[in-house]
Every structure is written in C-alpha cells, then in structure tokens.
Structure 1
Amino acid sequence: MEVDKVKILFVISVIFYILYILQVLFLLVNHSKHYKCEKRKINIVSRYCLWIVIPALNEESVIGDTVVSLRNEIDKLNPNITGHILVVDDQSNDDTFAIVQSKKEIVIQTTSDIAHTGKGSVLNFATSFVEQHKSEAAENIILIIDADGRISSVDIETAIFDFQENPGLGMVQSAVKMININNALEIAQDVEFCGMNRKAQITRDNLGDGIASGNGQFVSLDMAKNVGWGNALLEDMEFTLKGWIKGYTSIFNDHVIVRQQAVSSMYKYIRQRIRWCTGGLQCFKYLGDLYRSKYIQIGLKIDLTIDMVIPFLYIFVNIINIYVLYRQIYTLFTYHSVDYTLMSLLFIWIVITFLATISYQRYINWYFKNRENPKMHLSIWRAFINTLYYFVVNVITFFIPIVSLYKIMVGELKWDKTEH
C-alpha cells in the first residue's frame, strides 16, 4: 500500500513537471520581441521630460552613489530629453535627505500621514509633485528606480523611443540584472531575473502587454495620475493590473536594463519574497475585473491566472518530492533496493534546469558582448550550475506561499522594506 501511495504521488508530480517543461519550452521559443527590437535605430525627435523617481527609506549607504551615477547618465541624453532626479525620502531616520541635498538634486519628504505606509504611497506622492512641476512643452515620463539602481543613457533613450513609436503607451518595463553575483543566493537571483522572469515577460508582451516587475518602470504621467498605486505589498503588479483594466497598454523591453543589488542573505531574501508573494495574493481580487475587461487578451488572462496559482502548486509538488525522497531512503535501508520514482524525478528536474540554462546563457552572453566585456563568455556548464542554484533556492523556500497565505488570513500586511 505504501508503495502504491508513493507511485500515485509520483505520477501527480510527474504530470506537474511535464506541464512545467512545456511552459519552459514555450518561454524558450517565444522570443520574437527580443530580436525584433535589436534591429531598431533609436532616434528621439519628440520632446520628453524624464523624472527619475527614487523612493528612499534609510538609504544613506547607497543613495549618494546612485544619484551621482544617474546624473552622469542624464548628462549624456539626447538633447530632446530633459532629465530630473526626484528622491522621495519616506521620513528616513538617517542621512538620506541630507546626502541628496548635498548632491544638488531634488529631494522631498513624505508627509506624516503617509510615512512608512508603503512604496505605493510614496509613488503617488511623487506623482503629485511631478504634476505640479511638469513640463508643458514635452511629454512627461516617470522612471521608477530603486535606491540601489543603475541605468545607462542608452537604455533610457531606448525606453523613451518606445513611447515615441507607440503613441498612447502607458508603461515600459525594463529587464533587471543583478550587480553583485558573488554567492549562490545572489547568482540565483540573477538567473531568476535574466532567465525565467525575463522569458515570462517576453511571453506576456507577445500576448499583449508587459507587466511591471520590481524596478525600472517608465510610466507616462497620464497613466500615473489616472491609475495610481495602491497599498498592495506588490504595488507594481497591482498598478499594472489596474492600468490594464482601464485600457492602458504596456511593453516589456529586455534591451533596456536596470541593474540592482541582489539580496545577500537568506533571511533578507525570505522576508523580501514573503512580501512579494503576499502582494501577489492581494492582487487576486482583480481577476474578476481582468476577465471582464475587453482590453485584455484571453491568453494574457490565462497566463496571469496560472502565475497566481502556481506558487501553491509548488508547495504541493515539493511536499510530494520530500515524501518520495523519504520513502526512497526508507526502502533503500530497509529492503536494500531503490524504486524508479526518485531517479525519474531527478532526471526531469535536470531536464528543466538545462532548458532554463539555455535562456539564461544566451542572454548573459548577449549582455557581455554588448554591454561590458565582449571577450567574456558564460559556458553552458557554468550557466547550468548557476541555474541549479536558482532551482535549489526555490525548493528551500517552498514554504513562502504558506506564510503569505497566513499573513493574508490574519491581516498582517505591514510593508517590509528590502534592505540594501
């Protein structure tokens, strides 16, 4: 009976993995936007006013270098783009405000009624400031950058060109790459953003719209004002969904790259991901409006539904895998034999890892060739090891959706800031 139970669980797990392999294969072949965008000639002829908005709470360790880096890039921009840096200090208790002032950049401070209530409140506060000081002679674009973010003038112009080529466009989401990739956890995050998340974004883009993701959003002032950010712990996803429901369109462009610091400790990583997962659960309430919306393609609706449900499937499958592993070890030591189930699951897992490796390796090698060091090359073996880190971290942190669901149920929804 025990063996039959293990085999039933094994079949369920295999079905899930086969669906996941199909999903990964779909992501790998769905890359037309990447190559199409590479052939464009960027030529900004319209007038734009760019507001680089940096939400900041106790960021004295990084904010100075960030504003200096961004100012250097602004100075290189096409003459038709006027750039401003706007740091919104969320009532920090360190020297964040003073450091930005010393760099001669615009810095404002949130009012006491919205202080420390989340990134969404800070962005709405920034939008009000931009509206009051906007350029009447140009189209105003807000670029949201984290306090540790870096972006080049070339990438800024590439995103602005998307607005020029698509009148009425609401948002352009950049790709994200990690700056520090020194340990397994940091490498796993680089694989996550440059590999799986990027391909998922390209797929969504091909289905009709890109989705805001963490850092590097270029948003039209019109969309920022008329949609606004809510209080969800995943404020960027909530903003996107509300925008789609209102008919705004968005683009994902993986030739626009924002670089940021990876979270270096597992404790901080888990805290960050619990907030993200909890925020994603909060966005479930928009599914009804999304399905009723005439602006959103059915493929995108299905993709978003799967995206919201899949973390809970991961819980189930990982519990099955742990149980199957336990039964295999028990069988080995008790009956001195090994069933096929564990080896089969291990083989499927390696296949998935290799499929994800291909996407990651291609993008990183393109990145080195065009951005940093043309002589650098990431081997398929090194890329496989890096991708393996990503999947191992996912297995280790399978419990995160459970914690997030608990937080939703008890109403524990306080904003938990990622520490840089």
Structure 2
Amino acid sequence: MKILFVISMIFYILYILQVLFLLVNHSKHYKHKKRKINIVSQYCLWIVIPALNEENVIGDTIVSLRNEINKLDSNITGHILVVDDQSSDDTFAIAQSKKEIVVQTTSDIAHTGKGSVLNFATSYIDQHKNEYSENIILIIDADGRMSSEDIETAIFDFQENPGIGMVQSAVKMININNALEVSQDVEFCGMNRKAQITRDNLGDGIASGNGQFVSLDMAKNVRWDNALLEDMEFTLRGWIKGYTSVFNDHVIVRQQAVSSMYKYIRQRIRWCTGGLQCFKYLGAVYKSKYINTGLKIDLTVDMVIPFLYIFVNVVNIYVFYRQIYILFTYHSVDYTLMSLLFIWIILTFLATISYQRYINWYFKHRENPKMHLSIWKAFINTLYYFVVNVITFFIPIVSLYKIMVGELKWDKTEH
C-alpha cells in the first residue's frame, strides 16, 4: 500500500511540475502571437471536408464556410471540396445541392479511414491547383466552423514563415451543455492546448485532427497513412522528412463535443489505439536530425503517459476503497487518501487557471465581451475533465488489446 502510494505521489508531483511548466509556456506563447495581419502574397485555399454519413450537419457547415470565404482578403481565393466517403445517407446529395465541389472516394478505398480520404483529396487538388498561387489545404470536419479572421491569421503564418508545412489551430467545443461536453472543452482549450504550446516552443506543433492548414507540397510528399490517429501519424512522417509545423491558439476551429459517454469512449479508444500505432515511428524520430531533443522527449512522454494514468487511477481507486474500509472499520481517516485528494485539487486548480484565462480571452475577442467565466465555474468545469479521465482509465488497456489482436477497423465519430 505505502509503495503504491509513494509511486503515485511521485507521478503527481512530476505532473504538477509539468503543468506549471505549461503555464509558463502559455504566457510566453500568448504574448508572442499578437500581431497585425496583412496578406500580400497570393494564396489558393482548399477547404477539404471529409464526410461519411454526415447528412445532419454537412449542409450547414458548407453554408457557414462559404460565408466566411466570401469575407476573405482579396489575395486569398477559396474553394470548398467535400469528399464523400461513399455515404449510405443523403450526404452526397445535400453537399451537391450547395453548389460546391463534391467528389466521392473510389470503391477500393471507401471506408478505410480519414487518411485515405485526405490522400484522395490531395490528388484532386494537385490536378486542379492554381499554378500562380501558393495552394493551402484546410482540413475541417463535417461539423467544423472557422471564421474568416482565423483563416487569414493562419495564412499569415505561412506568409511570415515560408518554410513551414502546417499550421494547427486551437479547438473549441460548440455545445457545452453537460459534464461530458464541458470536460472536452476543458481538454482542448486547457490541457491539450497547453501541451501544443509547449511543443510549439520546442520547435514544432502537432496536427490535431480538425482545423489544420497544410501546404500542398507537404500533403503530396508526406501523405497520410492508415493509422487510426491519422493526424499524429501525418505529423511524425512530416517531421522525419524535415517539415516544420506551427500551433497558433489565436486560430480557432469550433466543433461539436461528443454528447454520450458511449460514443466518447469509442472515439477515445480509436485515438489511443492510433497513438499506439505511432510507436513504430519513435526510432526514426530519435534518429532524425530535424527534430530537437526536447521535442523527442515530449513526444515519448505523450505516448507513454496514458499507461501511467492506468496505474495512477488504479491506485486512486484502491486507496479510495481502503479509506472507506478504514473509516467504517476503525472510524479513522487514512493519510493516503487525504494526500492524493489534496494533490488532485492542486492539479485541478492549476489547469483551471489556464482554461479560465483562455476562455475569457475567447469571450472578449470572439463572443460577448460582457461574458466572463469565474474562477469557481472554471474550477468545476476542469474537475469534470479529471473525473472523466478517472472513469475512462481502462481505455489504454482496450487499445492495447486491439493492437494485439489486430482489430484496427476505422470507427468514425458520429456528429
């Protein structure tokens, strides 16, 4: 019992130091990104929407993105390319009715994953590219929303840094009506965003599925493979080939949060399984001369930490059981539970600071300047995130099992 407690305490202390480090990096990054946007070069933007059975959202998404394209700087020409992955519903017909470019995947690659769809889209764009502009691909999920201001900010990153291959946006949830949806907003606006900022300060951002801008050159030369976490795999393949990436949290893609725990678990099992598939790139990453040591270490920790969470959460559950047993048997309180609970509250509060800061910035610049997220409400929201993590501690175990038995079928998120 004491040995487990000591190991768990060491992990928590290291985690607290990591969160503090991320908070410092957040402050540094936040100041660095303030600048005036002025597009002077010619760009051709291709907004690619992979779609499989998205009849409920695809129409509104196309209309929203077309409205934003019409507001873009005159130096940016915008196209919407919907790639229907042989949907069995009315996705294809609805997309066609919006008078945008709509294509369907061929039968040999249908339903084989998002990576196949993106490669198919890249081939189409390469054949129809604008020869007199720099062609940029923006990958948006079928439920995604992005403003013209954010699009111009990302394009400006390419203009200011001609050598970069990708710009990744921050992710914000649209629907935050229950605890599970709120926890996802905290995850992406807080924890995931801070980790992205740290990587960016170490030299490169990492693709995060939705809202990523990729140069046509990088898309053609790197291409997506068949991992279930296609965005991470694409990033690693790009790093190994010498392409650099930028994370900009002033560029925001808004998407729907998963509303049910069942769908959430299915989504996270796919993500975790895909992350495990990316282990095969670690050797090439460590050998690469293009990737600095700090980024290599960060990437390794990022891949290993889900399994550390399994151990820590099992310890937490066991300690909680022991505390209940001691309380009812001996009418006393064990110091282990109190200590772990205290550290858990500190972690939650530290994560709360960054989440509240970012959300209030978001309200001020994007939604309603009069809105304000209190520190108490932000703390409760962040607590939801940590509780969901404890409840779903088994996900890496399921993912490891799927890897071992070769059960790697693509399981899309339902919008």
TM-score band w.r.t. shorter chain = over 0.9
Taking the aligned partners of 1:44 and 1:181, their CA distance within structure 2 comes to 34
After alignment, is 249-258 or 6-15 more displaced?
Answer: 6-15
Cross-structure match for 1:170? 165
Name 1:155's counterpart in structure 2. Answer: 150
The structural deviation recorded for 1:338 is 1.3
Q: Among residues 378, 381, 384, which one is paired with 1:386 in the alignment?
A: 381
Deviations 1:275-300 (A, max 9, x none): 00000000000000000000001000
AA of the residue aligned to 1:35: K
Q: Is the 8 A contact 1:144 1:216 kept in 2?
A: yes
Q: Within the alignment, does 1:35 sit opposite 2:28 as a pair?
A: no
Partner of 1:352: 347
Give yes or no for the alignment of 1:13 onto 2:13.
no
Aligned to 2:183: 188
SS at match of 1:100: helix
Separation in structure 2 between the aligned mates of residue 374 and residue 319 of structure 1, nearest angstrom:
43
> What letter matches 2:29 in structure 1?
K
* Superposed CA RMSD: 0.5
Contact kept in structure 2, 1:34 and 1:253, CA below 8 Å: no
So what's the TM-score if we normalise by structure 1?
0.98
Counterpart amino acid of residue 200 in structure 1: A
Question: 1:33, CA displacement in angstroms?
Answer: 2.1
* Alpha-carbon distance, 1:211 to partner: 0.1
Q: Does 1:102 align with 2:97?
A: yes
User: What residue is the counterpart of 2:79 in the other structure?
Assistant: 84
Written as runs of structure 1 = structure 2, the 5 A alignment for 1:326-405 is 326-405=321-400
Q: 2: CA distance between counterparts of 1:334 and 1:97? A: 64
**Which residue of structure 1 lines up, in the alignment, with residue 296 of structure 2?**
301
After superposition, the C-alpha distances for 1:238-276 in whole angstroms (9 at most, x for unaligned) are 000000000000000000000000000000000000000
Partner of 1:237: 232
Match of 1:212 among 202, 207, 213: 207
TM-aligned CA deviation for residue 329 of structure 1: 1.2
* Counterpart Cα distance in 2 of 1:169 and 1:223: 9
Structure 1 unaligned regions, length at least 5: 1-5
Q: How does 1:404-415 map to 2 (within 5 A)?
A: 404-415=399-410
Q: Find the residue that maps to 1:211 and give its secondary structure.
A: coil
Task: Give aligned pairs, total.
Answer: 414
Matches of 1:343 and 1:303, distance apart in 2: 31
Instruction: Read off the aligned partner of 1:337 and give its amino acid letter.
Output: S
**Matches of 2:47 and 2:228, distance apart in 1:** 22
Runs of 4+ in 1 over 3 A off after TM superposition: none
C-alpha distance in 2 between matches for 1:368 and 1:214: 24
Secondary structure of 2:164's counterpart equals: coil
Name the SS for the 2:249 alignment partner: strand
> Does residue 1:272 correspond to 2:278, yes or no?
no
Offset of residue 163 of structure 1: 0.2
Q: Quick check: 27-36 or 54-63, which moved more?
A: 27-36
- How far residue 384 of structure 1 moved from its aligned partner, in angstroms, is 0.1
User: In the alignment, what sits opposite 1:53?
Assistant: 48
Residue in 2 that maps onto 1:112: 107
Q: CA deviation at 1:160?
A: 0.1
Residue 414 of structure 2 aligns with which residue?
A: 419
Q: Tell me the alpha carbon deviations over residues 217-244 of structure 1, each in whole angstroms, 9 at most, x when there is no partner.
A: 0000000000000000000000000000
Code of the residue aligned with 1:294 in structure 2: it is: K
Q: In 2, distance between residues paired with 1:148 and 1:236?
A: 17
Given candidates 126, 135, 141, the residue that maps to 2:136 is: 141
Matches of 2:111 and 2:261, distance apart in 1: 24
- Secondary structure at the aligned position of 2:77 is classed as strand
Q: Does residue 253 of the first structure (1) align with residue 253 of the second (2)?
A: no
Give me the TM-score of the superposition, normalised by structure 2: 0.99
Name 1:3's counterpart in structure 2. none
Aligned partners of 1:318, 1:110: CA distance in 2, in Å? 42
Choose 318-327 or 344-353, whichever is displaced more.
Answer: 318-327
Greater shift after overlay, 331-340 or 235-244? 331-340
Instruction: Pick which of 335-344 and 204-213 moved more.
Output: 335-344
* Alpha-carbon shift at residue 335 of structure 1 (Å): 1.5
Aligned-residue offset at 1:359: 0.4
| Cα deviation digits, residues 13-69 of structure 1 (max 9, x gap) | 11010000001001011122221112x110000000000000000000000000000
Unmatched 5+ stretches in structure 2: none
Conservation of the 8 A alpha-carbon contact between 1:245 and 1:289: yes
